[in-house]
Chains A and B, each alone.
Chain A
Amino acid sequence: MGSVSIANVSKSYGSFEAIKNIVLQIEPGEFVVMVGPSGCGKSTLLRTIAGLETVNAGTISVGGEDVTHREPAERGVAMVFQNYALYPHMTVTGNMGFGLKMAKQAQAAINGAVSQAARILHIEDHLHKQPKALSGGQKQRVAIGRAITREPKVFLFDEPLSNLDAALRTKMRVELGRLHNQLGATMIYVTHDQTEAMTMADRIVIMNDGEVEQVGSPLDLYNRPVNRFVAGFLGSPKMNFIDALATDVDEKTVRVSLSDTFSFDVARNGTAPSPDDSITIGIRPEAFGEGDVGFELDVRIVENLGRETLVYGTPVGFASSESDAEQGDIVIHFPRQREVRTGERISVRFSANAIHIFDAGGITRHFANTCS
């Protein structure tokens, strides 16, 4: 068990700043998941913690000790790579015991650690095999086992499940959760997968462009995103964004105008925008349904998933402000099957309380009321 403090860490490749002045405190035993778009610096941050990259500025501490200038093996961390990185010329036992062997541990201690890790990961039957004789899931277990035997203070995972198929990923996700409870170790986990982030994390760190956008519990981030980026990043399908004007602002309410003829009042809860500010409102696909505001929608695509229905369509009178939304489409999620056909015009309602408001700079000015 160990805490991790990242204090003002920056890392550049040439003139390109991959991570910029990152500050992050991770408590002992925490499961922290780092997410963000491709190329935002997640792996780089993880690798600086591991010591595989040197930092340009800042300090990294593990378990209260400054390890910024220590060799990877002397930091008390272990890393699991996306493509397993097992030594092909060693057996499973050899792979899992290699770190201890390099640390000049007695053979008996190595054997003990390996068989214990193998028991935890249910790979006792494969100990004598070479990596090439293992399935993807088994390889990843061995890679995790190699990390476990060294009893690190902190586990680092870089997209460890992304090479596995969906079913196996779900299974391994549950197992990693169990492993975290069993070992009680601190774990930092990088992923692209929203489900992994939402289900496994004690806290999620959302990164963008080498910077931390927001840190918080999964639901916290989902319900109270500090800016438009975070709001749009979490959730699938993503939040609908619509350009609007704040036409009237008083003590209690903001009047939101989507067009000259379409406006509604929202009870304020954040820092109010000024009158006549351009704003963006955000509505999650699942927030449509009942409510005091209604509009018409020309249905373009219907995705019937059995348990739920996704409807993509062009609203009458306003449009999505996302540049990649075709014909100003917004997406609506119905938590059940629904008879809708392409080309049909349906009426949709939502509650004025269910919207987020972002100002022109993307900062959240009003949070949706989700517990209704």
Chain B
Amino acid sequence: MLTMIVRRLLLAIPTIIAITALLFFSVTTILGSPAGMMLGQDASTDAIAALNARYGFDRPAIMQYGAWIAGAIQGDFGRSFTTQQSVARAIADCIPVTLEMTLWSILLATTAAVILNTIPVARRALAGATTAVNLIGITVPNFMLGISLIFLFSVWLGWLPSTGWAPWSDGVAEHLKRIIMPVLTLSAYYFGVFSIVYRAEYRDVAQRMFIQVARAKGLSEWMVAFKHALPNAILPVITFVGITIGQLTGGAVVTETVFSMPGTGRLFVSAIAGHDFPVMLAIGMLIVTGVILMNLLADIAYTIVNPQIRFD
């Protein structure tokens, strides 16, 4: 197990380097020279040359990448083109917001998806309904759900502030008021995804012999479902949760934009809009590293839930 973890971690290094390199070169070739992007199309050649020299854009791309990755390893991702702020700083400020929102949403969505799809009566009675709910969760764009919530709770009922962010230091109530709608919005999406994954696996597990054996022992349908089927059906959900947490920005982009939350998702969107090359790269690297690490964690969680799976 320990050797597996070490091996996977060592393997992660070349993967991260390869993916960031790909990101680096594709961004530079597709978007053109960063100086051109920053200064606009009418910039004089002199101005571009000056900027290139200042940021080192006149060096060969491979050397630029080398310098970037060397800095990145030490936690230095350069400065933002648009705000001149340290990129590492900007991201570090955003991560807690996104992380908290994502974790609450995943917790809520997984619990609801697993429990609702395990309860015997609910599972059968809602077979059609949950599918519809799943589809609504997945297909109704997040921004529409977000806007509907804002309309209902902020505009109409006036219970909750529509947008913005309040850190814990502003008081628990203030904090919860701001985070509840984004969490509900994001959970709806995760609920749909997790339900589909879980239901598919549950159907397979329910066909296995040990389920019939559990009934033959005289266990109630609830015991059969929660004690015998659930632990076997939950494995793919664990992987999904891992990947989802790893992606961080993935699900958060729209939600953060709708609710104007200062998270990594919104940072990413504004970086793209402002051609803010260092910020884009740094978030790219964050996503790659996150996905790899969470995949590893999910695999470790697997072995804990299901003893049959052992890594050599």
- Co-complex (A, B): no
Binding site for A on B (CB under 8 A): none
Binding site for B on A (CB under 8 A): none
